[in-house]
Amino acid sequence: MIKKLQGVFRGGKNILSVKQDDAGAIPAEDKQDKAVFTADLDRNKKIFAQRLEKCSDIVSRDISIAGRRALLLYNDLLVDKSILNENILEICFEDFQKDGAGLIERLKNKGIAIGSIITVSGIESCIEMLFYGSTVIILDGSGEALVMDTIRWEKRAVENPATEPSIRGPKDSFTEVLYVNASLLRRRLVTPDFKMVDLTIGVKSRTKVKVCYLESTVSPKLVEEVLRRLNLIDIDALLAESYIEELIEDEPYSIFPTIQVTERPDVAVASILEGRVVILQDNTPFSLIMPAVAMQFFQSADDYYNRWVFGTFIRIARVAALFFTVYLPSLYVAVTTYHQEMLPTAFMISLQAQREGVPYPAVFEATLMGFAFEILREAGLRLPRAVGQAVSIVGALIIGESAVRAGLVSPAMVIVTAVTAIAAFTIPSPGMYEPITIIRLILVIMGGIMGIWGLLIFTLVILGHLASLRSFGTPYLIPAGPFIREDLDDYLIRAPLWQMKKRPRLLAKKNLIRQGKRPSPLPDTGRSGR
Amino acid sequence: MRKRLVFILIICSTLFFSGCWGRRELNEISIITGMALDAGRDGYHLTIIGTDPTKKGGQETGGDARAEYNLYSASGSSTFDAARNLTLIIPRRNLWSHCELIVIGEEHARKEGVREVLEFFTRDHARRETARLVVSNGKAHDFMETLPSMSRDPATEVLSVLTISKAAGKGIQMPIYRFLAETGGVTGTSLADYFTVKDYGGPSQVSGRGKELVLVGAGVFYKYRLLGFLTPSEARAANWLREEVKAGVITFPSQHDGLVDSTMEISKVRTKINPLLNEEGGKVQVSLEVTGGIVEYLGKEKIMEEKVLKKLEEACSKVIEQEIRDIWRKAKNEFHTDFFGLGDRFANRYGFLVNTDPEQWREIFQILELELDVKTVINESGIRRESFGR
């Protein structure tokens, strides 16, 4: 019965709902909802009064419909008043035939002009819907409540992606509203093959979560595993997507993210098409993509929107930038304190002249500058925009100019720090910035203790760790390790779109073929033109 | 248990952190770019050129431009001893890995030889075998005192001159690993560039005037000891047989009157050296093919004509041949040594010669014959077809 209701409810929503603010956040009736309505209105009323005591946003009102007593309940904060007034109250106050039998059915199917309207018998689920913004009518003598979707809340418009901007390609990004986000995905995948599974997580927050995937492509085990982990979450509230990320990721102690976060619907859809699972969560403008492997964090949407030659070039440049940002400070430290023979003489002499008068070792200098930069970055991030500018000026002047003049820092170190910082910003995914910063700091210290040998040791440790990581069963370093030759078309190079005929091997075994032949032009018959 | 684990960790960590031991901050070292060695009162007199970064930090405030390098000297009963005695004067640790020049005073090279300094330079891992060996006229430390004209320090100046001298084909450029290989070979002979300080007069503030470091030929070493010198053109002549001429200029007379009126710039040299032993002794078949272009021509003929071209080529070949025959004679009669490295070529061909004693090779060298075949190809005449002023 409940299942059937759900189906009707859903179907009604998807096809009939025309309201713009249609959020349809009415949850499915809880199976464990033991307390049910009775025919006695006064008793029902009493239960509500008890349960909703001191919930000032709930408005409870006695009305009479067709001569029968009824209780109207709605949430003052989340209800669309115009719908309430015009589509519900006006109808209710009309004079119905004084025939009590089947009134509730008539109201539901003929009377009230609202797309989504169901009858609910469980009290708890009714209360939950109330808090989502539904309007509830309980008739005297009826064991069921009429729940109408009247939701309207404040929300942000769909804006440009702030953390992953692109030059070409779509400019929309997710918002805090789950159903807007889901609609952004649905508009891109107009097929019943694209599934969204609803979950509610959080004892107090009752946060809606959607698990999205392409049924024909995704590995069923992956979906099963994602759902299993989500169902195991037992927490009071989910405030941001990072909660789910941290709770279900494979390696909770690793510094590397094994779940990708994106605010771009196109990135999410691309992942879904590759056979990944995307989790949308209410109240956050970010979605989670899993499994996530290392290479994903170094690819940006622009790689695919630019022509492939440039996309490839940029990817290689990004890898170079990655090496710069990870190794430059530590190499500087290692070479200037241990391996002075490694640089050309003229270069070494120039470095020596710059370091002259700096009162502390190069390791300390590099660590200091690294910290100074992170502090500046953090300060610039947290401060209001107007003050942020002041921070950058102070940073540039004090660190860049005065520190060098005062002989506290060598100019070469300032250059190294600057190059490192700039190179770090080429990493498209914010999730990778954090581990890289930490690795860089450790490398600087290793370089200061052991020179290049130290860098080597730590690099091996990190590589070993990376090789051991898995994200939902997918090795973190694919397609490099394990080596999958066919997947290299979308690794360091970005092959032309018409050549990427297949999906990633490990993820989409079920449905490998992505596209057919290239729609190439017909060969020249020689008759065209003159 | 826990305590023991921590203890073991600490012990192990010393394994990894041992690197701190060898830490050398840039502001605690002086980078040595060149060294000079002379005979001193108590054995060896060492002079080094080290960087002095403190002088650059002054930000050109005053007009008093001090040199960015320093010269320190010390004596000792061996070069290493002298190098350690340097620490009595220098306030910084010496970094030898950038030392790219070894200058040996002429007197020291003749009497003591360079065996000791090469031993000093190659046994310790801190120094590089790519450093160049150079002989200086007079005392090496006087040589180092000459102000460089366009370089950071005298050592860099000498190295730059050596690199540039390739264009004339007259430099030797002897890295010490090659010097050791040649001296340790059958011939026991090697060459090194010979520099001198020349006073050109005029205002010393102008580069190229005043005292300058000049490449004036090559020193011939036999068993690490200096025998004598070759002039720059003789050095070039020797380079023909050493297969070292890559570029250079040949002047030759095109007419029978013998007046030099043509100049050719070498662009390519192909050398074939064939050592042969026979009953009478042995001979060396050398065939040279020198390709180049005319860069100056004072004659009046049309040089693009094949007949004229052939004449020029023959005249040029003759000059080259003469040059080689002269140095061949000089090597045999004056030095009695084979500084062309032919001994090793013979040893390559005839394995039983590998262990020939250099003294013995000197005798064999005396009876060697030279069979020379020089061919010149002139393949361009610059951007002018004919000479003017007919």
Task: Say which CATH number the domain at B314 has.
Answer: 3.30.300.210
Q: What is the average pLDDT across A86-114?
A: 70
Which one has a higher pLDDT value, B80 or B67?
B80
- Looking at the fold, whether A339 and A451 belong to one and the same domain comes out as yes
Intra-chain end-to-end CA distance of chain A, in Å? 74
Contact B33 A348 (CB under 8 A): no
- Confidence class for position B43, pLDDT limits 50, 70, 90: confident
Please indicate, yes or no, if residue A164 is contained in any of the structural domains. no
What are the backbone angles phi and psi of residue B190, rounded to the nearest 5°? -150, 170
Which structure tokens are listed for A57? Answer: 């946003």
Please indicate, yes or no, if residue B335 is contained in any of the structural domains. yes
Contact at 8 Å (CB) between B363 and B388? no
A43 has a pLDDT exceeding 90: no
CB nearest A340 (choices: B68, B95, B152): B95
- Confidence class for position A391, pLDDT limits 50, 70, 90: confident
Please indicate, yes or no, if residue A518 is contained in any of the structural domains. no
- Looking at the fold, whether A116 and A194 belong to one and the same domain comes out as no
**In this complex, is the C-beta atom of B51 within 8 Å of any C-beta atom belonging to chain A?**
yes
Q: Please state whether B135 falls in left (phi above 0), alpha (psi between -120 and 50) or beta.
A: beta
**In this complex, is the C-beta atom of A453 within 8 Å of any C-beta atom belonging to chain B?**
yes
- Looking at the fold, whether A286 and A312 belong to one and the same domain comes out as no
Q: B335-371, pLDDT tens digit by residue?
A: 999 999 999 999 999 989 888 899 999 999 998 999 9
Contacts A356 to B, Cβ<8 Å: 26-27, 53-54, 56-57
- Looking at the fold, whether A18 and A105 belong to one and the same domain comes out as yes
A284 has a pLDDT exceeding 50: yes
Q: Which of residues 141-170 of B touch A (CB under 8 A)?
A: 152, 156
- State which of B201, B230, B259 marks the end of a domain: B230
- d(CA B187, CA B361) in angstroms, rounded, equals 6
Please indicate, yes or no, if residue A92 is contained in any of the structural domains. yes
Q: At what angle do helices A411-424 and A308-337 cross, to 10 degrees?
A: 150
A345 has a pLDDT exceeding 70: yes
**In this complex, is the C-beta atom of A449 within 8 Å of any C-beta atom belonging to chain B?**
yes
- Confidence class for position B63, pLDDT limits 50, 70, 90: very low
A27 has a pLDDT exceeding 60: no
- Looking at the fold, whether A455 and A318 belong to one and the same domain comes out as yes
- Looking at the fold, whether B138 and B269 belong to one and the same domain comes out as no
Which structure tokens are listed for B167? Answer: 């264009």
pLDDT for res A108: 76
Please indicate, yes or no, if residue A154 is contained in any of the structural domains. no
**How far are the Cα atoms of B185, B285, B367 from residue B277, in angstroms, in the given order?**
19, 11, 11
Q: What is the average pLDDT across A389-411?
A: 81
- Looking at the fold, whether B38 and B149 belong to one and the same domain comes out as yes
Please indicate, yes or no, if residue A385 is contained in any of the structural domains. yes
**In this complex, is the C-beta atom of A358 within 8 Å of any C-beta atom belonging to chain B?**
yes
Which structure tokens are listed for A301? Answer: 């949407």
Q: What is the average pLDDT across B290-316?
A: 88
**In this complex, is the C-beta atom of B16 within 8 Å of any C-beta atom belonging to chain A?**
yes
B2 has a pLDDT exceeding 90: no
pLDDT for res B17: 65
CB nearest B98 (choices: A345, A355, A357): A345
Contact at 8 Å (CB) between A254 and A466? no
**Pick among B13, B18, B21, B27 to test the A interface (most A CBs inside 10 A):** B27
- Rg of chain A in Å (alpha carbons): 30
Q: What is the average pLDDT across B86-103?
A: 92
**Residue B278 CA, distance from chain mean position:** 34
Contact B27 A348 (CB under 8 A): no
Please indicate, yes or no, if residue B323 is contained in any of the structural domains. yes
- Looking at the fold, whether B203 and B259 belong to one and the same domain comes out as no
- Confidence class for position A25, pLDDT limits 50, 70, 90: very low
- Looking at the fold, whether A270 and A310 belong to one and the same domain comes out as no
- Looking at the fold, whether A126 and A58 belong to one and the same domain comes out as yes
- Looking at the fold, whether A84 and A120 belong to one and the same domain comes out as yes
Contact B56 A353 (CB under 8 A): yes
Please indicate, yes or no, if residue B5 is contained in any of the structural domains. no
Give the total number of structural domains in chain A: 3
Contact A356 B152 (CB under 8 A): no
Please indicate, yes or no, if residue A502 is contained in any of the structural domains. no
* Tokens 């060298």 found at: B365
- Confidence class for position A405, pLDDT limits 50, 70, 90: confident
CB nearest A338 (choices: B23, B31, B100): B23
Find the domain containing A218 and state its range. 178-292
pLDDT for res B231: 94
Q: What is the average pLDDT across A82-107?
A: 72
**Pick among A348, A404, A410 to test the B interface (most B CBs inside 10 A):** A348
Contact B29 A352 (CB under 8 A): yes
**In this complex, is the C-beta atom of A339 within 8 Å of any C-beta atom belonging to chain B?**
no
Q: Is-above-0.90 flag for pTM? A: no
Please indicate, yes or no, if residue A44 is contained in any of the structural domains. yes
On average, the pLDDT of chain B sits at 88
Find the domain containing B178 and state its range. 25-54+68-230
CB nearest B100 (choices: A345, A355, A357): A345
Contact B57 A341 (CB under 8 A): no
- Looking at the fold, whether A287 and A313 belong to one and the same domain comes out as no
Contacts A362 to B, Cβ<8 Å: 25-26
Neighbouring CB atoms inside 10 A of B66's CB total 12
- Looking at the fold, whether B367 and B272 belong to one and the same domain comes out as yes
CB nearest B19 (choices: A349, A351, A449): A449
- d(CA A282, CA B268) in angstroms, rounded, equals 77
Give the total number of structural domains in chain B: 2
